[in-house]
Amino acid sequence: MKKVFQQTTTFIRILESLWRCSGNKSIWRRFFVLVAILTVSAFAFQTLVHTYLVLPDRPFGSDHRNDYSFFQSPRSSLQSGESLKGGTPQKVHLTRTNSFISPDESNKLMESFSVEQENTKLEARVQKKTSETANKKDRNLADVTKGAMSLSPQRRVPPKQKHIWLLPPNEALVLAKREIDHAPSVNEDPDLYAPIFKNISVFKRSYELMEMTLKVYIYRDGSRPIFHKPPLKGIYASEGWFMKLMEENKQFVTRDPEKAHLFYLPYSARQMGLALYVPGSHDLKPLSNFLRDYVNMIAAKYPFWNRTHGSDHFLVACHDWGPYTVTGHKELAKNAIKALCNADLSERIFVEGRDVSLPETTIRVPRKPLRNLGGNRASLRPILAFFAGSMHGRVRPTLLKYWGIGKDEDMKIYKRLPLRVSQKMSYIQHMKSSKYCVCPMGFEVNSPRIVEAIYYECVPVIIADNFVLPFNEVLEWSAFSVLVAEKDIPRLKEILLSIPIRKYLTMQNNVKMVQKHFLWNPRPIKYDLFHMILHSIWFNKLSQIQT
C-alpha cells in the first residue's frame, strides 16, 4: 500500500510539471483533478475489498470494531487464529490490513475460506452429537438426583403474591391485615428502639405496609376558617399541623377516591368553636349541628360515606370539645375513626381500638416547632418532681393540697410559677432540671405537659383515670413514664422514690428514644408525629377487619 502511494505521488508530480510547461492551464487543471479523484477512489475500493474479504462471516457494512482482527498490529506476523461462533471454534486466517490483494489472490482466498467453512461445519456436527450424548447423560443423572431428593423433606416456597398496591382497596386492606397478623420476627432495627414498643415486629411490618399501600382522599368541600385553615400555634396545634401536612402530602394523598382506603374530613374543632360558640352559653349544640349538616352534605354529594356508613372516614380534633362535636350525627359518632386529644373512655364517645388518642402538643413558634428541644442529663436534675399550672379540674387541687409550696422541698408543685421563682429558673428550665414531670389532667383527661416532658427528656408522671394514652396500640408507656391513679396522689413521693435508680436511668433514656415519634417536622420524616398519627388511624382501621 505504501508503494502504491509513492507511485501515485510520483505520477501527480509529473502531471504538475507538464501542467506548468503547458500554455493551456485550464485543460491540464481539469485533467489533474480527474486523475486525482480516480486514484483516491481506486485506493479506497481496494481497502474496502481487503477488509471484508478477511471477515467473510460479517455482512457488508456491519460494525467490526469488536473483532479480534481490529486490534491486531499492522506489523503482526500472526497468520491464523480462532474465533467463536455459537460456541464452536472456527479457524480464520488473519492477514495484514495494509497489504494489497490482487484479484487472483482474492479468488484463492475466497476458495480457502469455503474449504475452511466446510471443515468447520463438519466439526460442528461432530461436536453437536457429542454434546447431545453428554446432555442426555446429565438429564439421567439429574432424574436420579431428583428422585433421591424427593425422599427427604423439602422447604416449602410460598406462592408469589400480587403487589398489594395493585389490589382494589378492600382486598388490599384484607391482605395487609393478614400480613400484620403473621409479621416476621424483628429483634433490632437501626431506626426503631424495641424496648419502647409493645411488639416491634408488628409495628415495623404495619408501618411498611402503610407506606406501601395507604391512599387517603381529602374532601375539598367546606370554606375557611373552619375548613382548611387550622391553627398552628398553641396547645391545640396538633389538629392544625396534621391537616397542613396531610394536604401537602404527595405519598399518601390521592385525587381518585376510587383508589382511597381512607377518607379525611378536614375541619378544625378549634376554629369551629371560635366561629360558632356563643361565649358564656355553655351550649355546644350549634357545633354538633354544623358538623352533622356537613357530613350529610358529603353523604349526599359523594357515594363513599353511604357505601360503608362512614367506617372508612376519619377526623382529627385536638380541642377539648372535639368528642362533643360528633354527637349530632349517629354514624359519625359510632362508625368513623376519631383521632382525639380528649381520649376519655368515661364519656362513651371515644372507643379504644377504633379511635386514636391524639397527642396534645404546645407549639409556641410555628416556624420553629422543635425549639428548646432536649434537656439535662440525669445527674444534673436535682428536682425530684415538678408541676406548675392552673388549678382547674378535679385532680390539680388535690395535687396542690398534698404537695404544694412548703409541703416538701423535693416536690416543686405550683399553682402558677411565681415571679420570684421564674426569674431564677424558667418553666422550661424547671422541666429540663427535674427527674419527673407531673402531668395531671385539667378539665379533660388530656394534657400538653406529657409531650412537653418528652421534649425536655423528663420522665412524665401521668395522673388521669380513664385516659387512653397516645399511640397506646403500639407504644409501651410503662417503659418511659409513670402512671399514677388519682386516688394515689397522697402517695406520689413514695411511689417515685420506690423506683430504683437503675430503672429511672433506663426510663429516662427511653424518653430520649421515644422523642422522635412526637416531633412535628415542617417536612415530615419517617416515624415522626405526623406518620405516627396516620399509622394509628391505619392500624385501627385494619383492626376492625375480620379475616
HSE of 133, CA atoms in CB hemisphere, 13 A: 6
pLDDT computed for residue 164 by the predictor: 78
Which candidate, 457, 451, 392, 383, places its Cα nearest to that of 421?
383
Q: Which of 129-133, 318-322, 344-348, 494-498 has the lowest mean pLDDT?
A: 129-133
pLDDT computed for residue 265 by the predictor: 97
Segment 315-343 mean pLDDT? 96
Segment 300-329 mean pLDDT? 96
pLDDT computed for residue 405 by the predictor: 86
Q: Are 269 and 325 in contact (CB under 8 A)?
A: yes
pLDDT computed for residue 229 by the predictor: 87
The overall average pLDDT reported for the chain is 80
**Tens-digit pLDDT profile for residues 7-44:** 555 656 655 555 454 445 455 566 656 666 766 666 66
DSSP state of 448: T
Q: Are 362 and 448 in contact (CB under 8 A)?
A: yes
Is the model's pLDDT at 174 over the cut of 70?
A: yes
Written as nine digits, the cell of 518 is 412526637
Higher pLDDT, 5 or 220: 220
Is the model's pLDDT at 150 over the cut of 90?
A: no
| Exposed/middle/buried for residue 514 (C-beta within 10 Å: 0-12, 13-18, 19+) | buried
pLDDT computed for residue 360 by the predictor: 97
**Tens-digit pLDDT profile for residues 110-135:** 344 343 444 444 444 545 444 444 44
Is the model's pLDDT at 434 over the cut of 90?
A: yes
pLDDT computed for residue 225 by the predictor: 86
Which candidate, 198, 310, 280, 275, places its Cα nearest to that of 536?
198
**Tens-digit pLDDT profile for residues 473-499:** 999 999 999 999 999 999 999 999 999
Is the model's pLDDT at 74 over the cut of 70?
A: no
Higher pLDDT, 23 or 465: 465
CA 59: distance to chain centroid?
Answer: 52
Higher pLDDT, 13 or 432: 432
> Is pTM, for the whole model, over 0.85?
no
Is the model's pLDDT at 430 over the cut of 60?
A: yes
